[in-house]
Amino acid sequence: MISGKKFISPGAWFSMVYPANWSEFEDSEDTFLFYDPANWNGNFRISAYRKEAKFSDAAYFGKDTVRQELKTNETASLVKVGKYDCAYSKEMFQEEGAYYVSHIWIVDAGNVAFECSFTVPKGGSVTDAQGIIEGLEVRKEGQKYPAEIIPIRVSEISQVNEAYEWTVSIVKKQLKKDFQGVEDDLSKIQTVIESGNFTPKQKEAWLALGITICVILTNEIEGFEWMSLIDGNREAPVLQYLPTGQVIDPMRLVWSKVKAGEHCNGFEEYKNIIENL
């Protein structure tokens, strides 16, 4: 097992740890891609498939998936990676004159089967990939886990970007003004808040405004970093001030106050955050 950053899947039903100098990048649906963007040494991809525990044969789903891979893929062999039995195979290919190898593991994790691949230059080490696989953890269905803050996932990056773009479009549409994502734009957000164009039931609109206030914070103040909050059914982007570890939840800036029937002043919220850093 390696030490580094933690990843918890959407839906929070499995977790893993990947090297600290790697990041998550967008890939195909239900497949998660990780690599080191500064010193590339391979692309690690992981997909997970689960059979719900309510089925009588759920506990054998991973084992059956590995067995099927060994049966249908004549190049696959049974290997042990940490505590996990895996069907392992590899494929070599050429791209732009260079040779690469994709190492593939089908992992038996009880009622979950993982498909992991690590594509490296020919002769490249697979140690990092094996370390990730060793540390895979399947979360039990129905069990409550403590809230965790992890490096921001692609899914929350998309949420932040969509919320900001929505706010920009609303400001342009309603106020006929540009929006640069700087402190001076807080007055425009406040005008939108007080416009009466959104009802308390329109949670996504209010949440988008809170996220945009946080975007302004990251643009104006050094030390903030976007993270992902995983807390039961809630999976959301939050800001963390790295020098102190303080966490700013965009939901509480606007939506929580609107929901409670309280007056919300985006600029005051912004000032209070800065004063309490």
DSSP labels, 232-261: TTEEEEEEEETTTTEEE-HHHHTHHHHHTT
Whichever domain contains 47, its CATH number is 3.40.1000.10
Number of domains in the chain: 2
Angle between helices 266-275 and 203-220 (to 10 degrees): 40
The answer to whether residues 34 and 51 touch, using CB atoms and an 8 Å cutoff, is no
Same domain as 113, residue 18: yes
Q: How far apart are CA 59 and CA 45, in angstroms?
A: 24
| Domain-terminating residue out of 110, 145, 180 | 145
Same domain as 185, residue 65: no
Q: What is the pLDDT along the chain (277 residues), one digit of tens a residue?
A: 677 999 999 999 999 999 999 999 999 888 999 999 999 999 999 999 999 888 888 999 999 999 999 999 999 999 999 999 999 999 999 999 999 999 999 999 999 999 999 999 999 999 999 999 999 999 988 889 999 999 999 999 999 999 999 999 999 999 999 999 999 999 999 999 999 899 989 999 999 999 999 999 999 999 999 999 999 999 999 999 999 999 999 999 999 999 999 989 999 999 999 999 8
Query: Token match 């038996």: residue?
Result: 108
Same domain as 213, residue 129: no
Domain that holds residue 28: 4-145
Same domain as 45, residue 82: yes
pTM: 0.93
Same domain as 63, residue 167: no
List phi, psi (to 5°) of 83.
-90, 0
Report which residue type is found at 124: G
Q: Encoding tokens for residue 266?
A: 């985006």
What is the sign, positive or negative, of the torsion defined by CA atoms of 136, 139, 144, 148? positive
* DSSP 8-state code for residue 28: S
Same domain as 181, residue 87: no
The answer to whether residues 239 and 227 touch, using CB atoms and an 8 Å cutoff, is yes
Same domain as 179, residue 130: no
Same domain as 158, residue 258: yes
Question: N- to C-terminal Cα distance for the chain?
Answer: 36
Instruction: Give the H or E element holding residue 272.
Output: helix 266-275
- Helix extents (H) in 118-224: 127-134, 154-175, 186-193, 203-220
Same domain as 157, residue 140: no
